[in-house]
Structures are given as structure tokens and as C-alpha cells.
Structure 1
Amino acid sequence: MLKAFDTLFNKRDYAAAERFWSDRYIQHSAHIAPGRDGLFDLVRSLPDTLRYENQLILAESDHVIAHGRFSGSGRPAAWIAADVVRFENGKLAEHWDVLQDEATAAESQSGLPMFGDRFPA
């Protein structure tokens, strides 16, 4: 999953990314059009500054959950994401996400950052 995310979101290598995503990919995100093409088209529409960073990854059976940050998308705040992926035949087959704008130190009720050990600049 981490190699797939790096290939698509950071390297923007769409041909290589096709090896990781099923051609029958099911997309449950409210922010992304259906299928692999919907995801790839979304990434194509975003600035080249888009970056994905991972902090934590958990796997059980054919499901993986990655806690990460999507920054450089042109939005006012980075998105902190919990991406849930189901694998089938070694490829990303289905996806759900939970997204939240990254809080600054002034916005954080807990006084702790949402990602890593520092607040965004």
C-alpha cells in the first residue's frame, strides 16, 4: 500500500500505479469519482506539490488502514486521513477514507498535533 501511494500521489507515475490498483477498483470516498480512473483523474487535477506522508499502518487479513497526511493540494489545510483499503489478488480493490483538516496549535483542544510530533507551520 505504501509503495502504491508513493507511486501515485508523490511520483505521479500513472502507468506504474496501474500495477497496484485493480481495474475493478471500488471507491467509497465522497471526494473521489468511481473507480481507478476516478482516483487517477483526481490526482491529475491536483497541483504537482501534492504529497502523501504515512505515520502508521495496520493490517489484518486483506484490509489495511493507513494514517497519513495529504499536503500541497492547494487547500488551506492538509488533510489527515485514515485510508482503509481492501486487497484482492495483491491489488488495491476497494477504498474508504476518513478525512479531517489538520489543526494548527491554536485550533487544537488537546494541545497535541494530529500527525507526527509537530504542528504544521
Structure 2
Amino acid sequence: MNDSSKAARNRHLVLHGFTRFAAGDIDVLRTLLHEDFIEHSPGNPSGREAFIAFIAEAPVARARLDLKRVIADDDHVVMHYHMATDDDPRGVAVIDVWRLIDEQIVEHWDVVQPVPEAPQVPHGMF
């Protein structure tokens, strides 16, 4: 498989998983995440089962996720999206970086930034 087709396949897998997760299907993570999944976000556990249990109770599991862009390069897929809830309609801007091996996610990093009031960001967050 060449790099461009690997990137396309990884992009498709992660995008499909994101779409299902955003629709409330947390179980999709059982097929996407490798058993020895490594999480780099402070306070979030590594390991597929521990991470799924954690994420099922996290705000993201009940939030609206509005995907803005997906970038794929070889083994990495980057997603940029707006996460908001009824309690926090401005929400946060999120960038997730996923590393895949053999069509499973093996590592995750993220950057999360609160969305400020519009006048503070004249060119928008997204």
C-alpha cells in the first residue's frame, strides 16, 4: 500500500468512527482502538477498555461535535472540530491527532481551547 492510499484509508476509518461516535455510538471505539492504545492527554487513561470507560462518562460523549476539517498523512489523521453542549454553547475548539497501525488507532494527542466571545476572535476559531 503506498503512502497516499494508506493515508486515504486511515482518513476514512477515523472519519467513519468520528461520525458514529458523534451520533452516540461509543462502542465504535472497540473496533477502532488498539488493545494497547496510548493516550497522551493528561488525566485520560491509556488502554482501550480504560479509555472507553473514561470517555463514556466524559462531556464529549454528550456533546455536539461539528467537524471542520480532516487531514491525513501516512499513519496520522488530524481532526479539527467544534465541541459544544447545552450548558456551554460556545464550547471548545478541539484538534485530535490519531496515529494508526494496521487500521487501528494506537495513539492519541489533543489540543483543546475554549471558544471565546466572537469579538475576541475577529477571524473566527474555525
* Pair in the same fold by TM > 0.5: yes
Q: How does 1:38-57 map to 2 (within 5 A)?
A: 38-46=50-58, 49-57=62-70
Hey, what does 2:124 align to over in structure 1? Answer: 113
**C-alpha distance in structure 2 between counterparts of 1:28 and 1:74, whole Å:** 27
Q: What RMSD in Å do the two structures reach over aligned CA positions? A: 2.2
Q: Residues 79, 38 of structure 1: CA spacing in aligned structure 2 closer, same or farther, 3 A cutoff?
A: farther
> Gaps spanning 5+ residues in structure 2: where?
1-13
User: What amino acid maps onto 2:28 in structure 1?
Assistant: A
Give secondary structure in 2 for the equivalent of 1:44.
Answer: helix
Hey, what does 1:92 align to over in structure 2? Answer: 105
Percent identity of paired positions between Structure 1 and Structure 2:
25
1:76 Cα deviation (Å)? 7.1
1:65 to 2:78 alignment: yes
Q: TM-score, normalised by structure 1?
A: 0.77
Hey, what does 2:3 align to over in structure 1? Answer: none
Moved over 3 A (4+): 46-49, 73-77
> Gaps spanning 5+ residues in structure 1: where?
116-121
For these two proteins, the number of residue pairs brought into alignment is: 112
1:77 Cα deviation (Å)? 4.3
CA distances 1:9-56 after superposition (whole Å, capped 9, x unpaired): x23323333111111111001252222234322332145641222111
Hey, what does 1:81 align to over in structure 2? Answer: 94
**C-alpha distance in structure 2 between counterparts of 1:12 and 1:44, whole Å:** 10
> Which structure is higher in RCO with an 8 Å CA cutoff and minimum separation 6?
2
**C-alpha distance in structure 2 between counterparts of 1:40 and 1:12, whole Å:** 13
Hey, what does 1:24 align to over in structure 2? Answer: 36
Structure with bigger helix share is 2
CA distances 1:65-94 after superposition (whole Å, capped 9, x unpaired): 111122218557412111111001101110
